[in-house]
Amino acid sequence: MNTTAEQLRVLDALLPEWLEDSRKEAAFGEVASYIPELSKAPHSALGIHILDKNGSSASAGDCSLSFTLQSISKVFTLILALMDNGEEEVFRRVGMEPTGDNFNSMLKLELVRPGIPFNPLINAGAITVTSLIRGDSPAEKSKRILQFFRSLAGGVELQVNEDVYRSELETGNLNRSIAYLLVENGVLGGSVEDVLSVYFRHCSIECTCRDLARMALVLASDGIDPFSGGRLIPRRYVQVAKTFMITCGMYNASGEFAIKAGLPAKSGVSGGILTLVPGSLGIGVIGPALNAKGNSSAGVHLLERLSRKMDWSLF
């Protein structure tokens, strides 16, 4: 199979059956409830959208379902922080290594010196990165983030889901603990509540799997919007982001996903997964029921099968 358009035509025919098969995996997962508002998501939903640089697409399942980006936002706030500050400044405060711990763990912040977060995709790292986004106030930082995300989504008017934001603000005490430890370690400056409000707001930006596919396509195109031809992200920062997605993007299942699917990916606790085939395709998936590692159980099943069948692995 040569062109992506041919691949997408084949997929349009095959996806519905593969998707229904993967949907069964939702039975083994649970919808996240530690952010109470997230628990309202439909347990067995599963949707996928795949988009190429010419605008051809294939999709199946519950593609109109809206969900919040959650940790998927961390990839793009990292990129914005890199664009605002450069690599040297960002990586003075956050490391480049997987942790082997839960995404919301603060264990290594105490155990390993210097007490900087291991990487930008765990909560400690993402909170630190969020603090580096330019802006005179939390509102201005949040506005810049939203504008950046909208440009990556092709101008779609993405919005913050205020119910999810409030739900996380009210219950996010573990993130508060992490942030105070970061202040103690000299990593974070300023007001903890200000940083967390910006962090919770970007995690609460609402999207569909089509929006995810569109944002992923910019990464697949090395930072260029394939439809306008404009550069949205320097190529080097896309390289950095894709590498983190391979090594840390699927929490403690990143190694397994790299072996089975072989694609850069980032998941979120809402059940979203953003992934891409470098050079050609952006892919967005939603499946709210999460497996034991915190990734969409049906979504991972579908993506691993797709990548194997289509021979998409980079390795």
* Residue 25 burial (CB count, 10 A): 20
Is the distance from CB of 160 to CB of 96 less than 8 angstroms? Answer: no
User: Minimal distance in Å, beta carbon 287 to ligand DON?
Assistant: 14
Which of 142, 145, 153 lies closest to 49, judged by CA? 153
Which of 66, 45, 48, 102 lies closest to 289, judged by CA? 45
User: Minimal distance in Å, beta carbon 37 to ligand DON?
Assistant: 11
Decide whether 85 or 102 has the Cβ nearer to ligand DON.
Answer: 102
The catalytic position among 22, 57, 59, 71 is 71
CA contacts within 13 A on the Cβ side of 62 = 20
Member of 4, 22, 59, 71 binding ligand DON (CB under 6 A): 71
Decide whether 221 or 275 has the Cβ nearer to ligand DON.
Answer: 275
User: Minimal distance in Å, beta carbon 169 to ligand DON?
Assistant: 10
Q: How far is CA 268 from CA 214, 246, 249, 290, 299, in A?
A: 17, 15, 9, 10, 11
The catalytic position among 187, 195, 269, 285 is 269
User: Minimal distance in Å, beta carbon 47 to ligand DON?
Assistant: 18
Is the distance from CB of 64 to CB of 110 less than 8 angstroms? Answer: no
Which of 40, 21, 23 lies closest to 31, judged by CA? 40
The catalytic position among 129, 192, 251, 270 is 251
Binding mask 85-104 for ligand DON (x = CB under 6 A): ------------------xx
Q: Does 70 bind ligand DON (CB under 6 A)?
A: yes
Q: What b/e readout covers 176-194, taking b as 16+ CB neighbours within 10 angstroms?
A: eebbebbeebebbeeebee
Instruction: Output the CA torsion 201→204→210→214 (10° steps).
Output: 30
Distance in angstroms (rounded) separating the CA atoms of residues 286 and 68: 10
Which residues, 6 or more positions from 118, have their beta carbon under 8 angstroms from its beta carbon? Answer: 94, 95, 97, 98, 99, 108, 112, 124, 125
User: Minimal distance in Å, beta carbon 273 to ligand DON?
Assistant: 11
Q: Would residue 71 show up in a list of annotated catalytic residues for this protein? A: yes
The catalytic position among 53, 74, 108, 141 is 74
Restricting to residues 127-186, name those near ligand DON by CB under 6 A. Answer: 168, 175
Q: Which position's Cβ is nearest ligand DON?
A: 71
Member of 195, 207, 261, 269 binding ligand DON (CB under 6 A): 269
Distance in angstroms (rounded) separating the CA atoms of residues 34 and 172: 9
User: Minimal distance in Å, beta carbon 61 to ligand DON?
Assistant: 21
Is the distance from CB of 119 to CB of 95 less than 8 angstroms? Answer: yes
Q: Would residue 165 show up in a list of annotated catalytic residues for this protein? A: no
* Residue 309 burial (CB count, 10 A): 12
How many residues line the site for ligand DON (CB under 6 A)? 10
Member of 7, 57, 123, 254 binding ligand DON (CB under 6 A): 123
Q: Would residue 251 show up in a list of annotated catalytic residues for this protein? A: yes
Q: Would residue 34 show up in a list of annotated catalytic residues for this protein? A: no
Restricting to residues 35-64, name those near ligand DON by CB under 6 A. Answer: none
Decide whether 29 or 268 has the Cβ nearer to ligand DON.
Answer: 268
Applying CB under 6 A, which residues contact ligand DON? Answer: 70-71, 103-104, 123, 168, 175, 203, 268-269
Which residues does the annotation mark as catalytic? 71, 74, 199, 251, 269
